[in-house]
A and B are shown apart, each in its own frame.
Chain A
Amino acid sequence: MRKYIVKRILISILILFFVAFIIYALMRCLPTSYIESMARQKSMQPGSKSFDEWMVQLKEMYNMDGGIIPGYFAWLGQVFRGDFGDSWFYTVPVLEKFSDTVWISFIMSAISLFFEVIIAIPLGIIAAKKQYSKTDYTISVIALAGISLPTFFFASLMKLVFSIKLGWFDLMGLVGRNYEQLSAWGKFLDKAHHLVLPIVTLTVISIGGLMRYTRTNMLEVLNADYIRTARAKGLSERKVVYHHAFRNTLIPLVTIIGGSLPGLFSGAMITETLYSIPGIGYTSYQAMVGGDIPFSMFYLTFLAVLTLLGNLISDILYAVVDPRVRIS
């Protein structure tokens, strides 16, 4: 097992090298160039140098005067020294901006993932147990509505109902008006209160997929021969479903949940924008639109690392839940 993990990690490093290169090449090829817009701005100022002169000067300043390949290795060299550079758009060190914004997104995603799992999986099991019944149809319709609703529409609907009509929550923002005057506990409650609607939005939208997935898998497992064997043993229906069937359903579910690791840190751009929450999704979007290569490079590479890690974790978990794939 250890040998397998080491091998996987080495392969992951190789993949990461190329992934980062592709990201870098794409970032360099983006039509929005931070340097270009900067040069244009500077050249507009009265009595300034021409656009071309500014371009040459700025490119040199930002180390962008070489081609894509030298540029990539220069970036890589910096990264090995633990330096991700400064964000052009936010004009602060990349890591600082990142750690400022990522945690709020992480908390939101983690809580909504938690609710997603504890709501969607039992619902999927119930729907599969009572296939083609009223319960099954009700759950499926709600799940399908969840999948189909666009985030912006659902978020707006939530705001209309719970903020405007009922007035239970603030319309947007992470903190209330009198945040500064609150005690530490009060500050925490205030933030939590503001996170309710975004988390509900994220949860409702993600439940459907997982629920359908659980239902399909459960149905497949419930029709398996070994479930009939379990019934023939005289086990109660409860034991059959939640012990014998569920352990087998867990196998594909683990892969899905392991794969959602990068999703925890990637932020939710639309939700964050709509609720004006300064999370990583919104921040990285702004950086990318502004052509901020250092920030985007760090953010995207970080996600690539998490994706590879997520795959590795789900493969390991796969071996944990399914004895057939255990690697000796």
Chain B
Amino acid sequence: MARKKPEGYLSAKDSRRISRYNRKVTNALEKQHKRKHVPESEYLTQMKDPNNTVEFDNLHSYFFTDVGTVKAVDGVTFEVPTGKTVGVVGESGCGKSVTSLSLMQLLQRPQGQIVEGEIRVNMGDKAYDIAKMPLEKMQEIRGNYISMIFQEPMTALNPVFRIGDQVDEVIKLHDKENLSKHEIRERTLKMLDMVGIANTEGVYRMYPHELSGGMRQRVMIAMALACSPRIIIADEPTTALDVTIQAQVLDLLRNLKDKINSSIMFITHDLGVIAEMADYVVVMYAGRIVEKGTVEEIFAHPCHPYTIGLMASKPVVGKQVDKLYAIPGKVPNPVNMPNYCYFKDRCEMCVEGCSGDYPHEVSVSPTHKVSCYRYYDGKVGESNG
């Protein structure tokens, strides 16, 4: 969709062409998505490494909007090892949330679609490819195997149902032991107690509006953990909370993770939270991964100019500065991405090669990978598609 027009301008002809194209693509994808009785073989796959819980492989999630195709996630590859926490960082709109929503198949359809790539999920004895999974099957996995903590505790709970009913619901839905009503209630109370709610009996009967933000986030966490999921996606779980509650919620998540030995995919733009929580860090920029590695590698030796810029722009205790550093420029227009490195226009460390194609991934160490021309010198990494 390369258009040489002033930004924001769209002729009627263009607009028609775009909506026709969108309809064609989304209808085809929707049709495939809505099929019933899909044989398991279609979405059965093999994990690359059996120690991983999730493997994102060259994931492309696009939004077919009225102004053109927005490549929200454009070729993302990373993995979440079992029992580890992977932090995904990046500025607003860089595709962090879309990556996680793709894993849940919760993109706003029909506009939002996974168009390419695989999301392999380790189910223990077998592996599924979420990108190809039919809705029916997906519903069995959601909330049960993969669950999500959303970023807005104030609006993420249904205002007209009691807390207890909302937690009960998810337990009942994925219940394999035929629990009685009373047993489900007992388990809900146990979950509420586990997330540090003191007055469990009272909260069980309350409505969401009667609780504070921190309490609601706890309820959200209780709901997400109710079925002991293997993967927890925490999408900025602490953004709407104040710092003391934030620390409590992070502690809670860490302890619970160890208790049920699951993996966490932690999405945030707060580097402090990442340093505290994550084992591995994935840095995203404009829908692509620019750098990934262990938390020590990223924080001690950031390689990509964007990561370096991010590190430089956070306040450091004990260091007096008048003004915090800010990365100059802005993110390129998501509808009309350049064909060279997306960060080139804002980069202060450009080298000769930067005008070429989008840089592929270079390994700095076995776990540390970066997509930047500055690390090309002789080393050949695998292509990033």
Question: Residues on A close to B: CB < 8 A?
Answer: 224-226, 228-237, 244, 247-248, 251, 321-324
Contacts and interface: CB of A to CB of B under 8 A. Distances in A.
B340 interface: no
Contact of A228 (B156, B159, B169): B156
A225 B208 CA distance: 13
Given A233-B143, A237-B135, A226 B159 contact: yes
A230 B220 CA distance: 11
B106 A232 contact: yes
Contacts, number: 70
Interface string B106-142: 1000000000000000000000000000010001111
A236 B36 CA distance: 14
Given A232-B142, A323-B209, A225 B156 contact: yes
Interface in B203-221: 207, 209, 220
Given A231-B106, A233-B169, A321-B160, A226 B155 contact: yes
Contacts of B159: 226, 248, 322-324
B99 interface: no
B21 interface: no
B209 A228 contact: no
Q: Which residue, of A237, A247, A251, A323, has the highest number of chain B Cβ atoms within 10 A?
A: A323
Q: Is the interface of A mostly helix, strand, loop or mixed?
A: helix
B325 interface: no
Contacts of B142: 231-234
Nearest to A237: B135
A249 to B, nearest CB: 10
A234 B145 CA distance: 10
B157 A226 contact: yes
B104 interface: yes
Nearest to B159: A324
A234 B141 contact: yes
A228 B220 CA distance: 13
B157 A234 contact: no
Interface of B: 104, 106, 135, 139-144, 147-148, 150, 152, 155-161, 169-170, 173-174, 207, 209, 220, 223
Contacts of A231: 106, 142
A225 B150 contact: yes
Contacts of A229: 150, 156-158, 220, 223
A235 B104 CA distance: 13
A216 to B, nearest CB: 18
Nearest to A226: B158
B139 A234 contact: yes
Contacts of B144: 234
Contacts of A228: 106, 150, 156
Nearest to A248: B160
26 contacts: A225-B150, A225-B155, A225-B156, A226-B155, A226-B156, A226-B158, A229-B157, A229-B223, A232-B142, A232-B147, A232-B148, A232-B150, A233-B147, A233-B169, A233-B170, A233-B223, A234-B140, A235-B169, A237-B135, A244-B158, A244-B161, A247-B158, A248-B158, A248-B159, A248-B160, A323-B209
Nearest to A228: B106
A232 B152 contact: no
A301 to B, nearest CB: 37
B150 A236 contact: no
A247 B161 contact: yes
A234 B173 contact: yes
Nearest to A323: B207
Nearest to B138: A234
